Structure 1
Amino acid sequence: MSGLRFVDVCAGAGGLASGLEQAGFDPVLLLDNKAVACETLRLNRPSWNVLEMDLLDFVPDEHPKTYDVDLLSAGPPRVRSSATAARTETEREQRLLEAAILLTHSIQPRALLVENVPGLVSAPEFESLRSFIREELEHLGYRLRWFVLNAADFGVPQDRKQGVLVALKERYSDLFRPPLPTVEKHMSVGEALHRSMAARGWLGAEAWASQALSVAPTLVGGSDNRGGADLGPTGTKKAWARMGVNGGALADEVPGPDLDISSALIKLTDAQAALLQGFPPEWRFAGRKTARYRQIGHASPPPVGAALGRAVSAALEAGSRGPQPGYTGLS
């Protein structure tokens, strides 16, 4: 199906948008409130219409091209329960998710795609949020599908589970199928990073890659209010150490030929972190090292976005061929 158009809010560094682009979608508008993320989007796709604005301040009436698109996609900040986060942080995360849902009233896309934490799909602490979402979308004639995907099943060398909501207008809803895994064997960190580890002549690259046999733990971007970049909390750092990686900091460049071949723990670069998120090597990130890593850690892996985009596209294409069995004519 050609000519599919989408609006992407809370676009970040473009992980979801670039995946949807691979699936044949063209963006009408990409919105994010962080200047460095918008710079990244423009750096990679100068032709994209990128708007630097908080979603809570966005007025679709001022951007009429956003109306009646095929897909509204959103990757808002991960919602957290009040038991694990400060109240003000939790409230803002929930407000952004709710704002993304409420955009369907004015934009009226044929499909909505929201990516967030796995717990949003079924965890009891998020039942009130799910109830809000159901009421808003079913009232508009959408039917909801909730499911969890692991990025490792789509060729991303990372154990990264994502909670996904796909809502489609009724004529398309029964035609949607969540994407199936695209790989039979998960890619290990060693497989993904061997080439980059050897790029500057480090003689230990082969030995390092041969023992880094697991997928990566989930990359986390961390808070803008926290210090420098690292690869996660204590438990995650221990998992990295078992693969010969120092998870406490990032390197400015990959190891050179002068590095001791027996060095116990190697630091990753932000470019290597991007490979572990499934970004293509040519995708560039704006800002300083910590800002680049945070964009990467917060991103949705492009291969997952591509798989979701293809699944949505297939449903929209099938539904556009004419009324389906069981279709009532409501939309």
Structure 2
Amino acid sequence: MSEHAPVIAALLTERTRRMMLDDAAIAQLNGLGSVRWPAGATLDAAEVDRLLQGATACLTGWGTPPFDPAARQRHPQLALVAHSAGSVRTLVPATLFDEGLRVSHAASKIAASVAEFVVAEALLAMRGIHRLHHALRGGGEWLDVRTAVPQRLLGARTVGIVGAGYVGRAVIRLLVPFGCRVLVVDPYLDDREADALGVVNARLGDALAWSDVISLHAPVLPETRRMIGARELALLRPGTLFINTARAELVDEAALLAEIRSGRIEAALDVFDHEPLPPDSPFRDPALANVTISPHAAGHTEEAHLAQGRAMVDEIGRLLRREPLHHEVSRAMLDRMA
């Protein structure tokens, strides 16, 4: 590589690098310029600052320390942050956007994984598969178990989607072919777009009251933080399935736990106020048969991780070739995205 080749800072922990970049992606990245890798398995702010010296672009991901507001002043040549994970809100301060730093992210590559997870949770709940399994394992009589666990067809249900961003739209694309009636709550989705997606625009209260399944996909903003509280949860009909693979901050967790404990609703939760979920968390109580919990796993598939890494290596290549970026986050987008 020429001494005049652009410098690319790979700001990835060893664990994240193994997840996001296969040999082909690493070879492609090395072909774009002089790539600097961390000296050890982890990263801290000082190491980030060292790697960014003279860098034109950087590749970031889960485990990359947040940029400080003065980063642009210390590294004026830095043109692009290519984030191989999803949200950039806690990684890049808004002031750096205002100072001309360009940012791309791979959030769209996560959407398919989350969407499949959501539909899987809905299908499992509609057919009561977890309950059938545990009842039979517990010695339940064959026909008694089948009779005791209600069987419902997902395609005959009304599903409410709160948030029509990358993930919400991916969920919609999977649900519509089932024949579901899909209600969408999103102030930025107009009726023309809703018609094109095959969904119906709805207010939050109506979606909660009319849906058999509710799935959250909204970003955490001042207006959405704890948007689902005791009053909103009370609108859910008995037996409604409440899915949250987005952010725990969207929901009053204590109010949700109370509803689950009442047995009135079912829930599938992938995000929590405290992560990792403490061993003594009430959500781990085996007696809560009407909730399934998972460790913030909805977006994590091997295929999605590698697609995220490839997408951001491609993005760095576009920057260096002075081509339009495909995954750029604008300053205006930052105010209303996850």
- Shorter-chain TM-score: which interval? 0.3 to 0.5
Normalising to structure 1: TM-score of the pair?
0.37
Decide which structure has the larger Cα Rg and report it: 2
Q: Report the TM-score, using the length of structure 2 for normalisation.
A: 0.36
Structure with more contact order per residue of length (Cα contacts < 8 Å, sep ≥ 6): 1
